[in-house]
């Protein structure tokens, strides 16, 4: 990276291509997820060392339940192990972890691990790490609107959240899973697909996108540096205004 290079404050990643990576090696898809998970742990440290403050990753979508029973079971087993290890890395890196999505669909022990991890890391502020699990952006928006309707019925919506009768973005954002987290500056999707797949539809409104061909298990520091260099080569504009 050049001397003028700026590190994005918030990177979001769609971790795609574990299955294809395994298939290329004549291995089962689950093996791709295991190596993908190892790479996530490694890259989380790399990303922190680059000075990135916020990292959000898409680990399991609301649609992923439709995969084969074997694959879903394998992923749940991985989550169990990963959430426990993540407690240690959260402590080591002083990293606040938040799970975005609807955890209520997971088995109780996974829900307990999520609560424990969020609770034990809630006061850390060196890095903010969001893991999207049973996450879908439309689901997040509908859950948020439902919460807002409940508060409206209970007379709990603050009048300053409206301007000329219209809901302000700031008030709506408080009802999203990402409340309080700045929008991503850079979104990376690995493995060649060029779509959002229901990931952070609201939050990515002004984000720069970088689609890379390598599958997630092969996405290492060198690819990250290339993505950051691409981000730096762009003129960021927010509604026509260039970022200073
Ligand atoms: C996409 O690859 C990946 C997933 C659906 C799961 C992502 C999971 C991990 C990286 C490992 C576990 C993560 C955590 C947080 C423990 P794919 O299966 O869609 O690959 P394909 O498109 O090649 O089939």
Residue 16 a catalytic site member = yes
Tens digits of residue pLDDT in 222-234:
999 999 999 999 8
Q: At what angle do helices 69-93 and 29-49 cross, to 10 degrees?
A: 20
Structure tokens of 14? 């769609």
Ligand 1: distance of its center to the CA of 77 in Å? 13
d(CA 172, CA 167): 7
Ligand 1: distance of its center to the CA of 19 in Å? 7
pLDDT of residue 5: 77
Q: What is the value of pTM for the model shown?
A: 0.95
Q: Quick check: 157 and 171 in contact, CB under 8 A?
A: yes
Residue 125 a catalytic site member = no
Which of the four pLDDT bands, split at 50, 70 and 90, describes residue 239? Answer: confident
pLDDT of residue 244: 66
Pocket probe mutation, ligand 1, options 14, 19, 70, 100, max atoms within 8 Å of Cβ: 19
Tens digits of residue pLDDT in 84-125:
999 999 999 999 999 999 999 999 999 999 999 999 999 999
Dihedral angle, C-alpha 101, 105, 110, 113, nearest 10 °: 50
User: CB-based contacts of 66: which residues, under 8 Å, 6+ apart?
Assistant: none
pLDDT of residue 172: 98
Q: How many CA atoms lie within 13 A of 150 on its CB side?
A: 7
| Residues within 6 Å of ligand 1 by CB | 15-20, 29, 33, 36-37, 40, 59-60, 64, 78-79, 82, 131, 191, 216
Which of the four pLDDT bands, split at 50, 70 and 90, describes residue 243? Answer: confident
Q: Quick check: 207 and 188 in contact, CB under 8 A?
A: no
- Atom index in ligand 1 nearest the CA of residue 29 equals 18
Mean pLDDT of 47-57: 98
- Atom index in ligand 1 nearest the CA of residue 33 equals 11
- Atom index in ligand 1 nearest the CA of residue 57 equals 15
Q: Quick check: 79 and 110 in contact, CB under 8 A?
A: yes
Ligand 1: distance of its center to the CA of 16 in Å? 6
- For the cut 70, the answer to whether the pLDDT of residue 186 exceeds it is yes
Tens digits of residue pLDDT in 69-80:
999 999 999 999
Q: Name the residue at shortest CA distance from atom 5 of ligand 1.
A: 60
């Amino acid at each position: 990276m050049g001397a003028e290079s700026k590190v994005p404050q918030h990177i979001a990643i769609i971790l795609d291509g574990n299955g294809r990576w395994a298939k290329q090696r004549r291995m089962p898809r689950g093996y791709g997820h295991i190596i993908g998970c190892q790479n996530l742990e490694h890259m989380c440290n790399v990303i922190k060392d680059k000075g990135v403050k916020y990292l959000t990753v898409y680990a399991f979508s609301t649609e992923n339940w439709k995969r084969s029973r074997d694959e879903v079971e394998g992923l749940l087993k991985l989550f169990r192990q990963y959430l426990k290890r993540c407690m240690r890395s959260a402590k080591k890196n002083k990293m606040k972890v938040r799970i975005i999505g609807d955890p209520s669909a997971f088995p109780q022990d996974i829900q307990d691990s999520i609560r424990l991890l969020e609770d034990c890391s809630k006061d850390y502020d060196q890095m903010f790490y969001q893991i999207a699990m049973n996450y879908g952006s439309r689901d997040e928006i509908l859950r948020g609107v439902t919460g807002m309707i409940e508060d409206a019925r209970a007379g709990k919506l603050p009048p300053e959240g409206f301007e000329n009768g219209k809901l302000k973005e700031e008030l709506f954002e408080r009802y999203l899973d990402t409340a309080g987290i700045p929008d991503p500056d850079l979104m990376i999707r690995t493995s060649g697909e060029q779509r959002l797949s229901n990931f952070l539809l609201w939050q990515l409104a002004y984000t720069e996108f970088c689609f890379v061909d390598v599958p997630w298990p092969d996405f290492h520091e060198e690819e990250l540096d290339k993505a950051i260099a691409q981000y730096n080569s762009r003129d960021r504009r927010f509604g026509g205004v260039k970022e200073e």
